[in-house]
Amino acid sequence: MKTIRLLWGIHNHQPVGNFEFVFEEACDRAYAPFLKVLARHPRVKIGLHVTGVLLKWIADHRPKLIDRIGELVDQGQIEMWTGGFYEPILPAIPDRDKIGQIRKLTRYVEALFHQTPKGMWVAERVWEPHLPKAMAEAGVEYAILDGMHFRYAGLDKKDLFGYYVTEEQGVSLKLFPINEALRHGIPFSPVKNTIDYLRRFASEDGTRAAIFADDGEKFGIWPSTFHSVYEEGWLEEMFTAIEEHGDWISSIHFSEYLASESALGRIYLPTASYIEMMEWAQPARTILEYKVAERFLEAHGKMEEFRKFFKGGFWRNFLAKYPESNNMHKKMVRLSDRIERLESEGADPGLLDEARDELWQGQCNCPYWHGVFGGLYLNLLRHATYEHLINGERAADRAEGKKASWIACEKTDFDKDSYPEILVESDLYNLYFKPSEGGALFEWDYKPKSFNLLDTMTRREEAYHSEVATAGGENGKSIHDALGAKEKGLERFLHYDSYRRSALIDHFIRPDARIEDFAACRYEELGDFVTSPYEDGIIEKKGKLSVVLRRHGSVQMGAHRIPLLLEKTVAVKAGQREIGIEYNLRNESAQNVALCFGVEFGVSLLAGDAPDRYYHTPDADFGDRTLRSTGAAPDVSSIALTDEWSGIDVRFSFDRKAKLWRFPIETVSQSEGGFERAYQSSVIFPHWSVALKPKDVWRVRIVQEVVDRK
């Protein structure tokens, strides 16, 4: 009789910073009912990976679910897998953190279930050839990857019914290929289709292994799956069929297969992830070209034949595609390097352990990329990453012996683009400046609350925006009906920014410019300051530090460009909340000039409509004060953005009364539920009419600060 081995794996994960109700729903609708069905079928065995953040949440909030897993482990039905505790993209973090995170989850699994994991789930199956050495050093014997990884190395589908061995610097690791047909069919195709597929590939010697491994959320959380998997009984039917066909389908653990069968060969895999991830990692325009090529191959019946040669991008390209992702990544690497340095200097081990765990939480992969799910576009996930990284920095400050009041400055290529940034750090704030791009302030951390106030997204084109823009046309269905958008008319919010959204962005606009055009980035910029390089200087005095940013630029006036010197000086004192910003504009032409000059500040307090987050000013009645509101007010000398939830006021004051515009930055992105509009930040734009005679200087002083609410 022809027989086959069935190896089944489940990966359960929730990101750091996700809502409590999401954890609860995932447990109640996916994780718990899956295990309940599994327990009724003792001859079905699975490998189970639960990320550390989720496993700890379950232990704290659903201890009976831990007991259920433990019982199934003891009965031999579950083989636990390890991985990075907080589910990092392994190639994106230093080796020391790879090893540390894997060991942390392994120890936690051992403590809960008295079993030492030997297998590992690789986050998002993002693979690079250097990984085996670090993984093996962390105690991993085997890992599970997509079958496409192996096909990119030259194998055919028929070669993927077993495992292979790879190595790095002489250190070996065993790799299992996930069966593509099973991954796409389970749990969506009829059970009979899966059984027929297994029968087709069963062999006389019975050595073949059909490998299924995928997200546990497919079994209850994905749209309509709770109904099909549990209410209609798909999973019950599947496990029953496995047992009923037990004479030729052998459900075994991955480790059991390793113990009984030899490797199919040695292999060296290229950089890869699952097909969709490599598509998403490409620039938007390239994705559209990729889709054209894909459709061409499909139309000519060649897609399957040439699929292994048809590879998209590379995960790390997300760091180039999205500066916001790169910002978090480089902050994370900088903190990791700092912890390693402090450890070599003999700093307090307890404080370093605290800093390291915060660092590792800040390595959770979800906010570093974007595909069909929210990811990077979800501000709560980015906020959680920054919160943990800033917490880690604060612990490192204490380990370094920083005083209660201190300030320091470093000029370094923070974002690794070959241009230096200026990093000002104190007991209260981190202020990161980018002289090469408009002298902008691109990160402003309020350290007592571990809050990056400039954590926003630039509105940029995504490949799927072509669907949003065309689906509501005359010849098609509305966007709402055709694409399952969460609200109608989303195409109205498809605006693209010509510069990165941040703060201290210097604009010269037409006197008759309209707020709606400025908010949509459809206005005319008359100056050459927004994205151009500034000269920089740092003035340090005892307890005080000033960053001077200067540009000899020009402004368009009629048919002429008028030379103008713009200098902004940002002064910060140790222990002081007020950040003083002095602007000097000097007319370097031989004629009188009349300008409209303004400074853009973008502040992200996470919720645009929440009643506990709002604007307030003594100088105007905004009517709608929510952070998602749009409006203009004359003669404003101060404004604050309040976050009662976090307990802070972000305040701005101007020594010259300004005309003030306010508007939200909202993105249109794709999520599990369709296209959605997401609030990212609130922009305030104080601007002034400036008249200058030749060589005259115009000045304004702005003060920004964060104040804790009582």
302-306, 408-412, 487-491: range with lowest mean pLDDT = 487-491
Residue 230 per-residue DSSP state: I
Does the N-terminal peptide bond of residue 187 adopt cis geometry, omega within 30 degrees of 0?
A: yes
- Please enumerate in sequence order all residues whose Cβ is within 8 A of that of 497, keeping only pairs 6 or more positions apart, or say none: 458, 459, 460, 521
CA distances to 23, 64, 557, 583 from 70, rounded to whole Å, are: 20, 10, 74, 64
Q: How many domains does the chain have?
A: 2
Asked which of 231, 249, 271 is the last residue of a domain, the reply is: 271
215 is catalytic: yes
* Each residue's pLDDT tens digit, 13-43: 999 989 999 999 999 999 999 999 999 999 9
Question: Average pLDDT for residues 313-338, to the nearest whole number?
Answer: 98
Tokens of 574: 């140790």
Tell me the pairing of strands 560-573 and 579-587: antiparallel
CB distance 632 to 661 below 8 Å: yes
Residues 322, 367: Cα–Cα separation, whole Å: 11
Asked which of 242, 271, 300 is the last residue of a domain, the reply is: 271
* Each residue's pLDDT tens digit, 108-135: 999 999 999 999 999 999 999 999 999 9
Residues 649, 449: Cα–Cα separation, whole Å: 12
For residue 485, the model assigns a pLDDT of: 65
Say if 431 falls within a structural domain: no
Average pLDDT, the chain: 95
Say if 341 falls within a structural domain: no
Residues 435, 419: Cα–Cα separation, whole Å: 8
For residue 546, the model assigns a pLDDT of: 98
Amino acid at 517: D
- Total Cβ atoms within 10 A of residue 571: 18
SS3 593: strand
Q: What percentage of the chain exceeds 70 in pLDDT?
A: 97
CB distance 40 to 239 below 8 Å: yes
The CATH number covering residue 221 comes to: 3.20.110.20
Say if 415 falls within a structural domain: no
Catalytic residue among 79, 87, 97, 124: 124
Asked which of 256, 271, 286 is the last residue of a domain, the reply is: 271
158-162, 300-304, 484-488, 681-685: range with lowest mean pLDDT = 484-488
For residue 474, the model assigns a pLDDT of: 35
Domain that residue 502 falls in? 495-535+592-708
Residue 24 per-residue DSSP state: H
> Confidence band (pLDDT; 50, 70, 90) for 469?
low
CB distance 1 to 248 below 8 Å: yes
For residue 36, the model assigns a pLDDT of: 98
Residue 636 per-residue DSSP state: E
Sign, CA dihedral 494-498-504-506, equals: negative
Say if 329 falls within a structural domain: no
Residue 373 has pLDDT above 90, yes or no: no
* Each residue's pLDDT tens digit, 583-614: 999 999 999 999 999 999 999 999 999 999 99
DSSP string, 272-283: B--HHHHHHTS-
Residue 578 has pLDDT above 60, yes or no: yes
The CATH number covering residue 635 comes to: 2.70.98.10
* Each residue's pLDDT tens digit, 289-307: 999 999 999 999 999 899 9
CB distance 651 to 706 below 8 Å: yes
Closest listed residue to residue 211, CA positions, set 233, 169, 181? 181
- Cα dihedral 598, 603, 608, 614 in deg (nearest 10): -80
* HSE toward the beta carbon, residue 460, CA cutoff 13 A: 18
For residue 382, the model assigns a pLDDT of: 97
* Each residue's pLDDT tens digit, 504-540: 999 999 999 999 999 999 999 999 999 999 999 999 9
Tokens of 56: 């700890």
Say if 420 falls within a structural domain: no
For residue 670, the model assigns a pLDDT of: 80
Residues 608, 680: Cα–Cα separation, whole Å: 8
Residue 489 has pLDDT above 90, yes or no: no
CA distances to 240, 437, 549, 550 from 532, rounded to whole Å, are: 66, 5, 12, 11
- Total Cβ atoms within 10 A of residue 674: 16
Say if 371 falls within a structural domain: no
Question: Average pLDDT for residues 615-644, to the nearest whole number?
Answer: 96
Say if 148 falls within a structural domain: yes
Say if 422 falls within a structural domain: no
Residues 161, 703: Cα–Cα separation, whole Å: 66
For residue 671, the model assigns a pLDDT of: 75
Question: Average pLDDT for residues 70-89, to the nearest whole number?
Answer: 98
Residues 278, 88: Cα–Cα separation, whole Å: 17
* Cα radius of gyration rounded to whole Å, the chain: 28
124 is catalytic: yes
Residue 492 per-residue DSSP state: G
Residues 367, 166: Cα–Cα separation, whole Å: 30
* HSE toward the beta carbon, residue 195, CA cutoff 13 A: 15
Residues 327, 223: Cα–Cα separation, whole Å: 33
DSSP string, 60-106: HH-HHHHHHHHHHHHTTSEEEEE--TT-B-GGGS-HHHHHHHHHHHH
> Confidence band (pLDDT; 50, 70, 90) for 633?
very high
* Each residue's pLDDT tens digit, 418-460: 999 999 999 999 999 999 999 999 999 999 999 999 999 999 9
Closest listed residue to residue 148, CA positions, set 119, 126, 165? 126
For residue 488, the model assigns a pLDDT of: 79
Catalytic residue among 137, 180, 215, 256: 215
